[in-house]
A and B are shown apart, each in its own frame.
Chain A
Amino acid sequence: MRFRRRTRWVKSITVAGAALLVAGPFVPAAQAQQQGGKVLRVALVQEIDHLNPFLASFASSTMVGRMTWEFLTLPSAEDSTPAPGLAESWSTSPDKLTWTYKIRDGVKWSDGQPVTAKDAAYTFTRIMTDENAQEANGTYVENFDSVTAPDDHTLVIRTKAPQASMTALDVPIVPEHIWSHQAAMSDPVTDSVPVVGVGDGPFLISEYRPNELVRLKANPDYWRGRAKIDELQFISYKNSEAAVNALKNNEVDFVNRLTSTQFDTLKNAPGIATNQAGGRRYRELMINHGAQLLSRQPIGDGNPVLKDVRVRQAIARALDPQTLVDKVLGGYGQPGGGIVPASFPAYHWDPPANQRYAFDPAAANAQLDQAGYPRGNDGTRVGPDGKPIELRLLGRASEDFAQRASDYVVSWLGAVGIRVTKQLVSDNEVDQRTNEGNYDLAFSGWGTSPDPDYILSKQTCAALPAVPGSSSSTAFFCDADFDRLYAAESTEFDPGRRANLVKQAQARYYDQVPSVVLDYDNVLEAYRSDNFASFTKQPANTGQIMEQSGYWGFYGATPAGGGSNGSGGLSPGAWIGIAAGVVVVLAIGGTAAGRRRKSADDQE
């Protein structure tokens, strides 16, 4: 009798627990906004490697650094031209080797100490002298000769050769009185809040849970003025589907790096706004026109036919980037021109109509006929060695774009008599084979910074690898005309003339076709428009919000008028879920306890 009663008890509890588990899902559990939309919760799909700004190299980590530490100068929100940061103004000597920055007065670190030129001098000197501090920003100071602070408001940098990027040094300036105590850069303490929490940027790091969360509070003393939001949270999501789901459920306010499908779904979702912007990367089809080392020694096994510039131009004419944008990218891209993406309008170059390789298979065929590559019996063109022209197309198997675009490329080139075989392999193998020149055609791409110097420098002869595998050149391009234009550009300080030279260099690259720039992918972002009214875009109105070169996007976040509410803490759904869990545990525990008592009885 007693036994039966217990069974019933267990049963009823189990039923209740199950009922709660079933009911739980129907109670909305979204962690509602606190304090009237003053907290901006951003889903971070990429990992944080370090908060230490000397080591931070992942894009998400450098973004956190941008929020915390002010730069000397930074690209403006309007058009990415250099804007004042810690440096109010700057000037350069006639020989362009000495730069003098006037450091803003009255800026304070969050612990109350004044920000001076000595902090900036310390930061640069540390990177120059401490090998372990070069991990993230070492390339900026390679050409530095000395950095000094004659007084608190003057910073003088001498360079070995003229350097055009001196107004775009993407290096966070840190407080000397905190960082000079950190002897070892690899010490975990350099990632802890007491160290990285002292800053002078618009936000200050207040909590860091690795793999979970970085919490930043608005800096009340920020020199541009306090942000309109109180807190900025970067919440880790490892799966973009989950991040999108979290946005829909109002668990986060901002999501980026969306796929075109996700973006289309979110377009019509209530309370959500989307932002489509020009990106900072270009996609290309690399053509192995003769991979070589710095010593001009040829490497790799590229098809020699591709050394003929007429063949490369014919290939460019046989491709239809617009179709790739429409069919593969779902329309979220812009067909390519020069290697500086269209999101940097000052330096972007678009080929004029008479110079553009428009999609024209007939013209491509004619050019190949004229160049002396007749079709063989099976329709495939024959090279000078009498063998049919067969090319290998290398792509990352992990990449949706490569998988789908490769079929188009195979058929387009097939139509002009060039036989192409797809080789979709692991990322590693793509890297290795392209670095060593063992490819004919390969999908690739490169991200660019607002200053075009970097991306142009990668196409010069000087960027050719010294040994196979040191990846400095992107397409093994080496051209005297291009190098001349690059050299002129990098020492030209008149903005108009410099832009002109940058465009001429791109035109030369386009003409020689070491690679075909296929498109510039769009950046796809979405946010809770019921919580936030607007963000500052870069460039103005048309640009992206999250991964800017600068902190304008989140610094300019404006809460929506009414601001939604709710209190903090746990939602009803959470409580019900937990109650159900507790009940289940109790039921199991009870059953186990009852059973043990029973078996003890049994032993009697």
Chain B
Amino acid sequence: MTNAVSTAAAELDEPRRGTGTARFLLGKLGGAAGSLLLVVALGFLLFRMIPGDPVTTLTRDRPTSPDQLAQLRARLGVDKPLYQQFLDYLSGLLRGDLGTSYGYNRPVSALIGERLGPTLLLVGTATVLAVALGLWLGVRAAWRRGSLFDRTQTGIALTLWSMPQFWLGLLLLIATQGAFPSGGMRSPATPPEFLPQLLDVAHHLVLPCVTLLAVIYAQYMLVMRSSLLGEMNADYLTTARAKGLREDLVRRRHAVPNALLPTVTLVFLQFGLVVSGTVTVETVFSWPGLGLLTYEALRVPDLPLLQGVFVVMAGSVIVMNLIAEVLYRVLDPRVRAQ
């Protein structure tokens, strides 16, 4: 029996590998879709467990008659049974409709849409820089394990990693003494032409980006360091050295590429988390992004908006996870072969 299968497998080697990839992709996509549905359902229930009736929250400080309350309930759709609300929400979601924000009285998708750009700019820049810095320091630290450089860099990274972003941001704001703007993304005085605007945004980006960078680079560094340490005693490095390659080249061309895998995956895994982690940084620097929107929504609390942000953020984590898994398969032939 086993014999027959293995022969069949050998004969159908090529086509089978194809379906394997397709099955893998389908499986992953299905998993992602399932997680997304779970997130949507969880989010829906979660935000309905928050104490307080949304209608009374909205009418706080305003005289309201029972008629007005009933109208408002009907307009917000909270007068329907819970399952009906959920179905409405799901069908809206499929049409890209995330509902209407209580506080802004505008579509949630429009609010999120206009805030996504600034967040991606901030998170993207910080991630690129953090990855570059983290990998570079990680490689150096691992290569000279136990050295003063290794110990101080690991120490600094861990210290920054454990710092509250809010506090670090305020500290930077005060320490730079006005060299960088205190908040916002653009200053009103800048001429409307492209280059000055670009430079102005870059200037505003420095502090929030540095704050975010300082906190997130540590994990890239630590993962790079440990995965490179794992490769350090591998035979192929001895072979490379035996070939007479210089230490630099051994590190760059042989050790690092092999140690890079976990880090690359981590970058994608973390990207989604960083998007949600910008709440504090954006609040400190009044960066007009998703994080700030969340903070505002929490204060009301604006349930449809919170729910929308929750779905978008959780969705980004799921999508990034998916990319990481696919990428891992692409990058590492060993995974593909399994």
Contacts and interface: CB of A to CB of B under 8 A. Distances in A.
A29 B284 contact: no
Contact of A238 (B69, B176, B292, B301): B292
A261 to B, nearest CB: 14
Nearest to A135: B105
B179 A25 contact: yes
Contacts of B43: none
B180 A469 contact: no
Contacts of A569: 189-191, 196
Contacts of B129: 584, 588
Contacts of A548: none
Contact of A235 (B184, B285, B292): B184
Interface string B61-87: 111111011000000000000000000
Given A432-B51, A470-B56, A26 B179 contact: yes
Given A25-B176, A246-B183, A588-B132, A236 B188 contact: no
Given A429-B51, A431-B56, A570-B200, A242 B286 contact: yes
A588 B185 CA distance: 24
Interface on chain A toward B: helix, strand, loop, or mixed SS? mixed
A466 B252 CA distance: 76
A568 interface: yes
A200 interface: no
A146 interface: no
Given A469-B56, A578-B203, A28 B178 contact: yes
Contacts of A195: none
Interface in B240-263: 248, 252-253
B200 A574 contact: yes
A472 B59 CA distance: 9
A575 B195 CA distance: 12
A595 B65 contact: no
B170 interface: yes
Interface residues of B, number: 67
Nearest to A233: B188
B65 A573 contact: no
Given A245-B174, A245-B182, A435 B65 contact: no
B52 interface: yes
Interface stretch (A173-181, A210-218, A402-410, A552-560): A210-218
Nearest to B136: A591
B286 A239 contact: yes
Contacts of A463: 63
Interface string A28-63: 111100100001010000010110000100000000
A239 B69 contact: no
Contact of B105 (A55, A435, A469): A55
A188 B106 contact: yes
A91 interface: no
Interface of A: 3, 24-31, 34, 39, 41, 47, 49-50, 55, 135, 139, 186, 188, 207, 209-213, 215, 233, 235-239, 241-243, 245-246, 248-251, 426, 428-429, 431-432, 435, 446-447, 458, 463, 466-467, 469-472, 568-570, 573-575, 577-578, 581, 584, 588, 595, 598-599, 602
Given A49-B105, A471-B64, 16 more contacts: A25-B175, A26-B179, A29-B203, A188-B110, A212-B288, A213-B186, A428-B57, A432-B51, A447-B61, A467-B69, A469-B69, A470-B56, A570-B203, A577-B180, A581-B206, A588-B132
12 contacts: A31-B181, A49-B103, A212-B186, A235-B188, A236-B184, A237-B286, A239-B183, A251-B178, A429-B52, A447-B61, A471-B61, A574-B200
